[in-house]
Structure 1
Amino acid sequence: MRRVLVIGAGLGGLAVAQGLRKAGIDVQVYEKDTDIEARWQGYRIGLREYGWSALRTCLPAELYDLAWATSGSLVGPGLLWDEQLNLLASGDQIGPPEDARVLDRHVFRHVLFRGMQDRVHFGKKLASVDETATGVRVTFADGTMAEGDVLIGADGGHSVVRQLLLPHFGFVSADLCGAMGRTPLTERFRRLVYGRGTMVKGPHLNLMLGRMEFANAPGPLGLPPTSSYVRWVLLMPPDHPAAQPTAVMPDVRKVVLELIDGWHEDLTDLIKQSDAFNSAIGSPVLLDQPVTAWDAERITMLGDAAHLTIASGGNGANTALRDAEQLTQRLTNDDDVVASLRAYQTEMLEYGNEAVEFAKENQKNFVPESAPAKAL
C-alpha cells in the first residue's frame, strides 16, 4: 500500500489526509503544534463552489454534511457606509463572491480533524528530509523519523518543506496592515452587515465587517462551542504609525478605538464589545518571487507552502482545498507516483501563482490612501 506523509495539520493538510484515507491510502500527518487547540486559527472564510466541490471529493459524506451544517449564508447585498453610517452604496462588489458560504476557521478545522486522531501526530517539528530512490525519509526535531513513498508539505506560509526545496526564496511585506477581531452578533450589529459584507470608509482608514452566523450551533454537534459573530478588520496604510512593528502586542481594541475616535457609536461599541483574546494586529508577508518548479521527485507542497496568499475572501483556503483535491485524485488514480506529482506540480503552480497575483491586485481595492504629508 502506498504511504503518504503530510507535514502540517492545517486546513489543506487535513483535507488531503481525509481524501487519501477515504481512498484507502495509508496517510500520516505530522504537526509541530502540541495539540489541535494549541494555535488560534483566525476567523471566517468564504468557501466558494469549487472549494465545496473539493470537499465533496476529499471528505466522507457525513463530514461534508457537518461542514455545510455549520456554515453560514451570504444572502443579501454588500454595503458601503461612511464613518457616520451614511449609506454610500450597496451591491455585489462588496464582500465574498455570491457563490460562497462562510465557515469559521477553527470550527472547520475540527470538522476536518474528526476521525483522524490516530493519524495526526502532534509535537513533530520537521528537521530534515532525505529523498531516496523509492521514497522519502523525514527526521523530526525530537529525533524520531518516518518513512513513506511521498511527502506533502502543507506547513503554511513559513513552510520548512519549501525552505528545504527552495532555500533561496525570501519574504517581502504586503502593502497592507490591519487590526482584526470579532464581536458577538446581536440584532444591533446585524444591521451593519446583513449581507455579503460591509466596508466603512473613513478618513485614511477602512473598516471591513463580515457576518459569521452559523446555520447550526457547532457545540451540540460535537464541535468547539462558538457563537455567531461579526468579524471586523480595520485596514490602514502601511506607513500609519499604528502599523509599525512593536516589541509588545498592544491592546488591539484600544488601538482601534483611538483610530476611529468620533465615528458612529454603533461602530465604536462594536469594537468595545469584541473578544480581546481573539484579536491581532500586523502586516502579512508574501514570497519575494513566484514559486517555480523544484527538482525533488517525491516531495510536493500545497496551500500557503506553495502559493502564499494574503487574505482575500477565502482565496487562499479555496486554493488549498483545490490542491488537496488534485493530489487526492492523482495519488489515487495514477500508478506512476513521480509522473503524477510532476503533473500536479505543473498545474498547481499555474493556478496557485494566479491566485497570489489576484490577491495582490485585490488588496488595492481595500487599502486606504495615506494621509498627505504635512508641510514643514
Structure 2
Amino acid sequence: MTFLDRQLALGVLYDHLTDKSKVLTKKGLKKVEIEDNGVRVTTEDGELFTGDILVGADGVHSKVRQEMLRLSEPGHFPPETKAMPCDYGCIFGISNPCGNIKAGSYNGVFHHNRSYLILGALHDRVFWFHFFKLEKRTYGTDIPRFSKEDEAQQLKKVASDPVMPGFTFGDIVQNKITSNMTAVPEYTYNKWHYDRIITTGDACHKFHPITGHGGNAAIETAATLTNGLVKAFNKSTSSTLSSPQISSLFQEVQDIRYKRVKDLIQVSHDQQRVEALEILSSSL
C-alpha cells in the first residue's frame, strides 16, 4: 500500500475528465430552493445553478445538510447534530524522508490514550497520524476546534514517544512539511436526504480515520447513488424523474448503505480503543 499527496490523486482524476468545464471552484453554497421539478442553488458569489437533484458531498460541516434542515418541515429531522459524539482528536501531517521509513511501509504504534500511524509514501515521504483521546466526550457544537498553538503544544507533549527503534515521533515532526489538527467526530445520521436533496460522504456518515474506511465509504455511497439513478432512468418512461421517484430512490440508497456504514464506524471506533490501550485486554 502506497500513499500519495491528495493533490496528485485529484490531478489524475481531473486530467481524465472529458469535460472539465463542469468543474467549478470557489463556489461556496449560499442558499438552496426546491422547485416543482428541480433544485435551484445560489452560490456565495451570486451565481445561480439549477438541476434535477442536489448531492451534498461537502463534509462534516455540510452547508447542504444545513439547507436541508432549513427547508424541511418541523420535526422531519431529529436534532441529531447536537448529539454527534466526539472522543478523539488527530494531528495528521506529511514529512520529508527520515529514518528508515520507505515507500509502502506501515507502522502502527500503541500508547495509553494515544496512538500513531506512520506510513511510507511516494518518494519516501512520510505520512503520519497522531490520534489522542480528548479529556472528555463532547457533542455537536461543543466539539473543539484547534488552533496552531494547540497543535504545537500537543506535538511537543508527545515528541519523545518512540515510534520505531531508536526513532521518536519528534524526529518525524522535525522534518514535517505540513500538518493539521482536528477533532474526530464519529456518527451516521438517521436521515440522509430530503425531497430532491441527498448528502454523501462525511456529510452523512463520518468515520474515525484510523481504518481508512471513511474515504472508501464515501466512494461506495456515491456508487450506490449512481447505480440507483441509472436503474431508475432505465425503468422510467420519461426523461425526468418525479419528486416521489427521487425521494424513493434516495431512501433506497440509504437503506442499502446504512447498516454497513454503521457497522464500520463501530469497527473503526473499536480499533482506536484497542490501539489507545483503553480496552483492558489490549494492554495485557
Q: TM-score range by the shorter chain?
A: 0.7 to 0.9
CA deviation string 1:9-61 (max 9, x = no partner): xxxxxxxxxxxxxxxxxxxxxxxxxxxxxxxxxxxxxxxxxxxxxxxxxxxxx
**1 or 2, which has the higher strand percentage?**
2
Q: Could you say what secondary structure the match of 1:123 adopts? A: coil
User: One-letter code of the match for 1:207?
Assistant: Y
- 1:239-269 deviation per Cα after TM superposition (whole angstroms, max 9, x unaligned): 29xxx96874128567424423374652232
Gaps of 5+ in 2: 71-78, 137-142, 279-284
Q: Which residue of 2 aligns with 1:234?
A: 130
Tell me, yes or no, if the aligned pair for 1:208 and 1:233 is still in contact at 8 Å. Answer: yes
Alignment CA distance shift 1:103-1:273 (3 Å)? closer
Match among 189, 204, 228 for residue 330 of structure 1: 228
Spell out, residue by residue over 1:121-172, the C-alpha distance to the aligned partner (whole angstroms, 9 max, x if none): 1221212222222211112222221111111111111111112224633154
Structure 1 residues 125, 157: CA separation in 2 closer, same or farther (over 3 Å shift)? Answer: same
What are structure 1's unaligned runs of at least 5 residues? 1-73, 75-100, 215-226, 370-376
Does the 8 A contact of 1:303 with 1:320 survive in 2? yes
- Which residue is 1:270 aligned to? 172
1:303 maps to: 201
CA 1:149–1:353 in structure 2 vs 1: closer, same or farther (change >3 Å)? same
**Letter aligned with residue 190 of structure 1:** I
- Residue equivalent to 1:358: 267
Give the alignment's TM-score, normalised by structure 1.
Answer: 0.57
Instruction: Give the corresponding residue for 1:91.
Output: none
Deviation for aligned residue 1:315: 0.5
Of the two structures, which has the highest relative contact order with CA contacts closer than 8 Å and spacing of 6 or more?
1
How far apart are the structure 2 equivalents of 1:150 and 1:270? 45
Counterpart-to-counterpart distance in 1, 2:28 and 2:208: 24
Residues 365 and 258 of structure 1: CA distance in aligned 2, closer, same or farther (over 3 Å)? same
Number of residues of Structure 1 aligned to a counterpart in Structure 2: 248
Match of 1:119 in 2: 22
Percentage of matched positions with identical amino acids: 22
Structure 2: how far apart are the matches of 1:270 and 1:319? 30
Higher helix share: 2
Give, in whole Å, the separation in 1 of the partners of 2:68 and 2:117: 37
SS in 1 for 2:116: strand
Alignment RMSD (CA, Å):
3.1
Aligned counterpart in structure 2 of residue 282 of structure 1, from 176, 182, 185:
182
SS in 2 for 1:334: helix
Q: 2:110 aligns with which of 201, 224, 239?
A: 201
**3-state SS of 2:160 partner:** coil
Measured in 2, the distance between the counterparts of 1:124 and 1:320 equals 21
AA aligned opposite 1:290:
Y
Matches of 1:205 and 1:160 in 2, distance apart? 32
Structure 2 counterpart of 1:349: 258
- TM-score w.r.t. the length of structure 2 is 0.73
